[in-house]
Amino acid sequence: MKRIFLVLNLLILPFLINAQKQPWQGKFEPIDNLITPPSTYRTASGAPGRDYWQQRADYNIKASLDEKTKVLSGEETITYYNNSPDELTYVWMQLEQNVNKKEGESFGDAFGGVRDSISSLNMQYLTRAIEFPAGHTIKYVKNASGKDLKTLVNQTMMKVFLDTPLKSGETTQFQISWSYPITDRSMFMLSREGYEYFPKDNNAVFLIAHWFPRMCVYNDTEGWQNKQFRRLGEFALEFGNYNVEITVPEDHVVASTGSLQNEDQVLSKQQRKRLDEAKKSFDAPVLIITPEEALKNEQSKSSKMKTWKFKAENVRDFAWATSRKFIWDAQAHQFSDHVTMAMSFYPNEGLPVWEEESTKAVVAALEVYSEATFEYPYPVAISVNTSNIGMEFPMISFNGGRPKNGKISDMAKAGMIGTIIHEVGHNWFPMIVSSDERQWMWMDEGLNTFLHQRTVAEKYPQFSHTTPKSIVPFMNGNQDIMRPIMTSSDNELLTQFGANFYQKPTVGLQILRNSVIGKELFDQAFKEYANRWKYKHPNPADLFRTLEDATATDLDWFWRGWFFTTDKTDMELSQVKWFRVEEKDQNIEDQQKKTKIQVEGQDTKTVATDFSGGPEMITMTETPDNNYGGFLSRLDETQIRNNLSGKNIYEVTIKNVGGLVMPVTIEWQYTDGSSETDRLPAEVWRYNEYEITKTFVKDKEVKQVILDPNFEFADVETANNSFPKTEEASQFDKFKEKKN
């Protein structure tokens, strides 16, 4: 036994020494203490558990738009299903329009403070010098019997006290009457809905969202999700069925969530005919309302009203847009068991690019996202043109991007198309895979941007898209203000918002797909997550666990580093040593001379900076019998020597400077002009998270060694990734740029 222990001690001694040298950071330890523990509601595999439940809310809404006063009024009946195991004595509802009230928390400061030279628009953001009405007016809240229910409003949240406790498995119903003044979003930039005014023809496009009082989520991990709405953190909402009647001026056209129920009453005979043609057109859009008809319609200003009726099933929200300015086109897209109508609504100010590109981009998103997750289930997918925003809702999105004098730059066109793809893609995340946007915005924005960028890469390869290199400036930024991805959206700086919640999660998923797990296995696992949690409410833990469960890959090291810290990737190729094994019969005089220098009277080997000194010759001795312990068999040492004869042995030392552990990709460039690549998994850092040494045997002589040659891991410093080191970092950047 002593001999066995001696051998084991000799094997583990180097690791013990390294552990004593460096403080243990636990980069490979489980993240169980950082995420929601598994339960019968949410399993350790990342799937919904046998006791998983979620609430439901159905809505019947009647709304009317007063175009002159810009006031929207409505009445709604809510049927609320308590599927939880808990008895509820009150419920919480969202009143997002209250965020625009004067006494609400300021949003303007996010744009920066007072400056020596400041535009009047920026000053309006900061001071609200021009006052305007805003916020919900609640006329009444009544139970099913018509009795008033007590309510209390706290900013953007309304507490409704139930007259009798709502027990588990029971349903309650109540009615609400409300109104609010629609804000001019082009003047005040208060939110991503409102109206856009067109002075030339004295018309407006109304984008109606966050418009009706709606139920907050009540779930197993948070109870009531009733965080205040502060504009950037969006929504957590329950699924349900909607029946909505929208009354607008007779010459308006309405684009909406859901299926239009009364075509005969609101569309002309010619429009219905064109729409029927569009339902059979799978290759190109059909104009339902032409540009000429829209221009003519702008002049009508009807005083009569018309009601549009829509029905939507199993959605978590409802939004719509209306204007007399709309051009309308539509194209059919065939899925395995249904047809979806891709549609676009836009004013003449959007021509020609919107007619050429909008519906085409909608179809592109439908194709790629459906392949990557599950088929788009809804009857319509709508893109509405507006100025300088992108905002998503079930089946409909409001998308910026507009030419100037009929012309648009390539960059602006790419931005417009990317916005449409992104907002249509939100139908999957979070409109169906319904994560909590206010708490974990990256779960919808990051996952959606990941597929949005994949769609751009596949359908529009001429456009640039996010890669690991894109996130380097952010990750190499000021650590004092940087926050991890696992930060609530309301607590993130506006300057960091896009990079931290959109780009960084996207790059993280790209690294997993392309460089850690592999495309085929990752894609299957990502699809598994989407299908497990469609029409449900996943948390970060459910995503993390599903991707591990479906790939048989321990990814806790990745989640911990990429999502829970602000560490960065910076691997330094600190040393490469070149050896050859001395031939057994070689004379000592024939060995390669070893260069030495005197330091404080002691002989110390020179640290080579290139390969010009040639290899260091090393001897390989016979293995002592006691190294074998009790084993009687022996290695064929002659074969080992023969297999290494004439070979080049390279010992590579890599330091983890940035803190993030990542897989290691090493490119070997040989003196004959050829090259090859070795890939090491992230687990090579398990025993020492700060420095690793690896040995490679090569037939050819090496000219240069390069880490991360294809820039897969967002390494923030390329100047230390080569041996011999390049003269200037910029030269190495150019080398990588050429390879990419």
Look at residue 108 in the predicted model and tell me its pLDDT: 63
What DSSP string runs through 458-474?
HH-TTS----GGGGHHH
Q: Helix or strand or coil: residue 265?
A: helix
Residue 101 has pLDDT above 50, yes or no: yes
735 falls in which pLDDT band (50, 70, 90)? very low
Residue 602 has pLDDT above 70, yes or no: no
Look at residue 592 in the predicted model and tell me its pLDDT: 42
DSSP H helices in 263-352: 263-266, 269-278, 291-298
Mean pLDDT within 648-664: 97
Residue 140 has pLDDT above 70, yes or no: yes
Look at residue 624 in the predicted model and tell me its pLDDT: 92
Residue 106 has pLDDT above 70, yes or no: no
CA distance 399 to 382: 10
Mean pLDDT within 474-499: 86
388 falls in which pLDDT band (50, 70, 90)? confident
- Range in 104-108, 200-204, 256-260, 383-387 the model is least confident about: 104-108
ω before 473 within 30° of 0 (cis)? no
Residue 656, H or E segment: strand 648-656
Mean pLDDT within 605-625: 87
pLDDT over 70, % of the chain: 90
Mean pLDDT within 495-509: 92
Look at residue 127 in the predicted model and tell me its pLDDT: 82
Residue 518 has pLDDT above 60, yes or no: yes
pLDDT over 90, % of the chain: 77
Look at residue 233 in the predicted model and tell me its pLDDT: 81
Q: Helix or strand or coil: residue 52?
A: coil
Is the distance from CB of 47 to CB of 556 less than 8 angstroms? no
**Residue from 283, 455, 465, 457 nearest 372 by CA:** 455
Mean pLDDT of the chain: 90
CA atoms within 13 A on the CB side of 725: 13
Residue 417's contacts (CB-CB under 8 Å, 6 or more residues apart) are 357, 361, 401, 456, 460, 463
Residue 543 has pLDDT above 50, yes or no: yes
How confident is the model over 28-39, as pLDDT tens digits? 999 999 999 999
Please, what is the Cα angle at 534 between 528 and 535, to 5 degrees?
165
Please, what is the Cα angle at 210 between 204 and 216, to 5 degrees?
175
Mean pLDDT within 333-337: 97
* Helix 353-372 / helix 442-459 crossing angle, nearest 10 deg: 110
Torsion from C-alpha of 190, 195, 198, 199, nearest 10 degrees? -70
Residue 51's contacts (CB-CB under 8 Å, 6 or more residues apart) are 39, 40, 41
Residue 206 has pLDDT above 90, yes or no: yes
DSSP H helices in 149-248: 185-188
Mean pLDDT within 322-326: 98
How confident is the model over 428-481, as pLDDT tens digits? 999 999 999 989 999 999 999 999 999 999 999 999 889 999 999 999 998 888
Residue 422 has pLDDT above 50, yes or no: yes
Edge-to-edge strands, sheet with 327-334: 286-289, 327-334, 339-346, 380-385, 396-399, 390-393
Look at residue 107 in the predicted model and tell me its pLDDT: 61
738 falls in which pLDDT band (50, 70, 90)? very low
733 falls in which pLDDT band (50, 70, 90)? low
Residue 94 has pLDDT above 50, yes or no: yes
Cα-based distances in Å from 628 to 14, 300, 619: 19, 97, 20
How confident is the model over 658-694, as pLDDT tens digits? 999 999 999 999 999 999 999 999 999 999 999 999 9
How confident is the model over 214-242, as pLDDT tens digits? 999 999 999 999 999 888 888 899 999 99
Q: Which residues of 250-270 are buried (b: 16+ CB within 10 A; e: fewer)?
A: ebbbbbbbbbbeeeeebbeee
Residue 24 has pLDDT above 80, yes or no: no
Mean pLDDT within 468-495: 88
Look at residue 15 in the predicted model and tell me its pLDDT: 42
- Break the chain into its structural domains and give their ranges: 569-739
Look at residue 702 in the predicted model and tell me its pLDDT: 97
Is the distance from CB of 219 to CB of 537 less than 8 angstroms? yes
Is the distance from CB of 536 to CB of 48 less than 8 angstroms? yes
Mean pLDDT within 515-528: 98
116 falls in which pLDDT band (50, 70, 90)? confident
Residue 334 has pLDDT above 60, yes or no: yes
Residue 597 has pLDDT above 60, yes or no: no
